[in-house]
Amino acid sequence: MAKKRSTTTQVNKKVTDLQSNTQNAEGQMLNTNQGLLINDNQNSLKAGERGATLLEDFILREKITHFDHERIPERIVHARGSGAHGIFSMHMIMWTMSDRAIPRSYRMMEGFGVHTFRFINENDESHFVKFHWKPKLGTHGVAWDEAQQISGKDPDFHRRDLWEAIETGKFPEWDLGIQVIPEADEHKFDFDLLDPTKLIPEEIIPVQRIGKLTLNRNPDNFFAETEQIAFHPGHIVPGIDFTNDPLLQGRLFSYTDTQLSRLGSPNFHEIPINRPIVPVMNNQRDGHMRQTINSDKTNYHPNSISGGCPFQAKIAEGGFSSYQERIDAKKDKGQKRKLFRPFQSGHSFLQ
């Protein structure tokens, strides 16, 4: 007589143990990491409908902080690029996807900031400004079949192209251009100047070319001089200030927080590629991987023990002072009426 086969399924105790930590949000209410139910998860808390984003917005800060530390941030979008040293270098956003096809070369790509900043003149007058980089070699692309052949034979084609051009003395150059809009014209257009998803049509506001960027030296070590670079939209000079673009406002917080994951320390500014060319004096000290040896007694400001040093700089001495934008509004999470509204015709994006 044949034995009866057991139908009992062996239980994996670890799988059972993990079930208490397994979550499915289907049909559930949205809440914070502390369990507080969220009423509005789409808009940041601002000083009025068009005001600056407030540090008080703990829900926004919780989301940004978690996003910044989930993984190396630029790897989320599979970022891959290159870098080089030059004269007049600024952080740029490249035009990467459009009906212009796939870029032929880094040297033939336009760059532009998605955010609107402010120019502040010596009379403390504000103008809105968009920054552009126009390649001296012009803008060129390749067809899809060409791109497949290039990437199949050399996935580092673009980085090699830039490297070899610089090594052979064919230094790539870009003109720095600006679109300037008087503050009084902020509401003149049928799109929002503070919307980072929009470009200002150049037939409406022409690009004025005011400078030139030249890349003339390759890095000696790509990790040390490119991978460790800590860009930040708040790295500005007197005369440039911020608008209330909500994405820009969030990035002003996020980019500093991001470097804690990317570079592992609050002292990322002391890495040689990030270190300012002027001495840093601000009484901040210690922390993980600190390089500077502070010999004075105080780690706070203002102070009396060290005679109040380091001293604050006057505006006339180059000290930064935020533009005194008038704000008379209620705290608000309302969505701007024109913000993120698409253009009705394709020509509005770029000419």
Residue-wise pLDDT tens digits, 118-164: 999 989 999 999 999 999 999 998 888 898 999 899 988 999 999 99
C-beta of residue 209 within 8 angstroms of C-beta of residue 176:
yes
Position 349 in a domain: no
Low-confidence ranges of the chain (pLDDT < 50): 92-94, 343-351
Position 290 in a domain: no
Q: What is the pLDDT of residue 19?
A: 87
Neighbours of 295 (CB within 10 A): 5
DSSP 71: S
Q: What is the pLDDT of residue 165?
A: 96
- Beta-bridged to residue 53, according to DSSP, are 46
C-beta of residue 162 within 8 angstroms of C-beta of residue 172:
yes
Nearest CA to 234 out of 217, 211, 210, 259 is that of: 259
Query: How long a stretch of residues is the chain?
Result: 351
Integer Cα distance of 75 and 77 in angstroms:
5
Q: What is the pLDDT of residue 339?
A: 55
DSSP 15: H
E-strand ranges in 44-159 read 46-47, 85-87, 102-103, 111-112, 117-120, 126-135, 141-142
Q: What is the pLDDT of residue 180?
A: 97
C-beta of residue 68 within 8 angstroms of C-beta of residue 258:
yes
* 126, two tokens: 């504000």
Position 33 in a domain: no
Domain residue limits at 189: 38-279+333-339
Residue with tokens 């502390």: 34
Per the structure, how many domains does the chain have?
A: 1
Residue with tokens 């978690």: 66
Residue with tokens 């829900």: 59
Position 12 in a domain: no
Nearest CA to 110 out of 88, 129, 95 is that of: 95
CATH of the domain at 216: 2.40.180.10
Q: Are strands 208-217 and 173-182 parallel, antiparallel or unpaired?
A: antiparallel
Per-residue pLDDT of 38-91, as tens digits, reads: 999 888 999 988 889 999 999 999 999 888 887 766 655 556 678 888 887 755
3-state helix, strand, coil in the chain (%, to 5): 25, 15, 60
| DSSP tally for the chain: helices H, then strands E | 7, 11
E-strand ranges in 136-239 read 141-142, 173-182, 208-217
* Inter-helix orientation angle 58-70/246-262, to 10°: 40
Q: What is the pLDDT of residue 345?
A: 43
Position 261 in a domain: yes
* 159, two tokens: 């980085």
pTM: predicted TM-score of the whole model, two decimal places: 0.81
Position 260 in a domain: yes
Helix boundaries (H) for the chain: 13-18, 58-70, 73-76, 144-153, 157-167, 222, 246-262
Position 27 in a domain: no
Position 229 in a domain: yes
